[in-house]
């Protein structure tokens, strides 16, 4: 009896703390990203699934609607995990929209099925055919996600380190795989196995992240020096992004917003610019602005010199003129006169 009470407390506490983390991830974590939203929703799906299983096992009495919600959350774990992993790797940018559409389709499908065949009217169908079908579908999603991760990891150069967001996505996948494995085993062993494993992994993940953060804060320097191959890759990635998106044209572009677009920590980007390029963020961005301004000044167009400055991203006439002369040794007007003759 005492052992059952301990198991219930351990499982319920894991669910409660998990919900607190999900609320933080969805409502308070900044910057807000699609990847962060997917991670929060994935955590929510796990909390619902584990919470329903926990109550069902220990209390024996639970509304049928709650059981239906728990099983519905179970099937959404697969599409959520796949979408989160795809959004964590820049290699799969082309697949991101498709993964969101698959998630939307899965959500609508399980919702409509639940409305047409509610659990309280068809309990035997849900408890047998549907439950095993959901486990089979989740297995397919887990296999697909593992294939995606293998493709991404194998494409990495041996000299290229994984980004923090990429490493974390692997950790999330492993934890999700173990929790889902626990629920699959609970079909044949003990139903409490799923909640117990999920709570154990939750606390293990917290301890791991806490130790990692402590080691990172105690390390010197705080940011490890980038390998030459990694620095070169990051340089190409940064230049390609700015040229393709022309983000430098935004007058209020900040290092935080650019880091968000690149899906990398702000500190990492700042460290790269200062240590490897020897430039501040503003100086680096102004290089792109001045290069485009030079091209526009060489063309006889309808834009005035002041308008060109605003067009390439400068917030004022004075900053454009001062930066242009600093980088070229000429004023914009003198530069235009020399190239239009």
CA dist 306 and 317 (Å) reads 6
Quick check: is 288 in a domain? Answer: yes
Task: Provide CB contacts within 8 A for 185, sequence distance 6+.
Answer: 193, 194
Give 220-259 pLDDT, tens digit per residue: 343 455 667 777 888 888 999 998 999 999 998 999 999 9
Q: Do residues 136 and 232 both lie within one domain?
A: no
Which residue among 185, 218, 251 closes a domain? 218
Q: Which pLDDT value is given to residue 221?
A: 42
For residue 60, the SS3 value is: coil
The CATH number that applies at residue 254 is 1.10.10.60
Give 55-86 pLDDT, tens digit per residue: 666 566 667 777 778 778 888 888 999 999 99
Q: Do residues 64 and 172 both lie within one domain?
A: yes
The CATH number that applies at residue 143 is 1.20.1070
∠ CA(143), CA(144), CA(148), 5° rounding? Answer: 115
* Number of structural domains in the chain: 2
Contact call for residues 248 and 320 (beta carbons, < 8 A) = no
Which residue among 164, 197, 218 closes a domain? 218
Q: Which pLDDT value is given to residue 217?
A: 46
Which residue among 183, 218, 253 closes a domain? 218
Give 331-340 pLDDT, tens digit per residue: 999 988 887 7
pTM of the model: 0.56
∠ CA(49), CA(172), CA(254), 5° rounding? Answer: 115
Q: Do residues 212 and 240 both lie within one domain?
A: no
∠ CA(70), CA(207), CA(73), 5° rounding? Answer: 10
Quick check: is 160 in a domain? Answer: yes
Q: Do residues 210 and 77 both lie within one domain?
A: yes
Q: Do residues 57 and 197 both lie within one domain?
A: yes
Give 276-324 pLDDT, tens digit per residue: 888 889 999 999 999 999 988 888 667 889 999 999 999 999 999 999 9
Q: Do residues 192 and 243 both lie within one domain?
A: no
**Least trusted range by pLDDT, from 45-49, 135-139, 268-272:** 45-49
Quick check: is 278 in a domain? Answer: yes
Quick check: is 293 in a domain? Answer: yes
Q: Do residues 306 and 335 both lie within one domain?
A: yes
Supply 326's token pair: 């600093």
Q: Which pLDDT value is given to residue 130?
A: 76
Segments forming the whole domain that contains residue 246: 228-340
Quick check: is 223 in a domain? Answer: no
- In terms of phi and psi (left: phi > 0; alpha: psi -120 to 50; beta: otherwise), the region of 255 is alpha
């Amino acid at each position: 009896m005492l052992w059952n009470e301990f198991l219930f407390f351990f499982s319920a506490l894991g669910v409660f703390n998990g919900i607190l983390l999900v609320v933080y991830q969805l409502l308070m974590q900044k910057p807000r990203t699609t990847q962060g939203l997917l991670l929060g929703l994935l955590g929510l799906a796990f909390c619902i699934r584990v919470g329903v299983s926990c109550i069902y096992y220990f209390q024996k009495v639970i509304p049928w609607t709650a059981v239906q919600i728990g099983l519905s959350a179970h099937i959404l774990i697969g599409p959520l995990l796949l979408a989160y992993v795809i959004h964590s790797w820049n290699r799969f940018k082309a697949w991101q929209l498709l993964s969101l559409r698959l998630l939307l389709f899965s959500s609508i499908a399980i919702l409509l099925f639940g409305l047409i065949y509610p659990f309280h009217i068809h309990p035997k169908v849900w408890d047998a055919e549907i439950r095993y079908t959901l486990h089979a579908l989740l297995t397919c999603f887990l296999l697909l996600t593992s294939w995606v991760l293998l493709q991404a990891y194998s494409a990495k150069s041996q000299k290229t380190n994984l980004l923090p967001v990429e490493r974390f996505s692997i950790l999330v996948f492993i934890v999700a795989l173990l929790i889902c494995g626990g629920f699959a085993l609970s079909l044949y062993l003990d139903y409490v196995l799923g909640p117990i494993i999920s709570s154990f992994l939750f606390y293990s993940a917290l301890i791991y992240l806490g130790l990692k953060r402590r080691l990172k804060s105690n390390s010197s320097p705080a940011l490890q020096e980038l390998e030459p191959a990694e620095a070169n890759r990051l340089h190409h990635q940064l230049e390609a992004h700015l040229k393709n998106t022309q983000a430098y044209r935004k007058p209020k572009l900040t290092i935080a917003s650019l880091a968000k677009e690149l899906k990398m920590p702000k500190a990492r980007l700042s460290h790269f610019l200062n240590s490897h390029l020897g430039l501040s963020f503003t100086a680096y961005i102004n290089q792109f602005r001045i290069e485009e301004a030079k091209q526009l000044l060489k063309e006889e167009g309808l834009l005035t010199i002041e308008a060109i400055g605003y067009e390439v991203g400068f917030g004022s006439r004075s900053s454009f003129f001062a930066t242009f002369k600093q980088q070229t040794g000429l004023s914009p007007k003198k530069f235009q006169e020399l190239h239009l003759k």
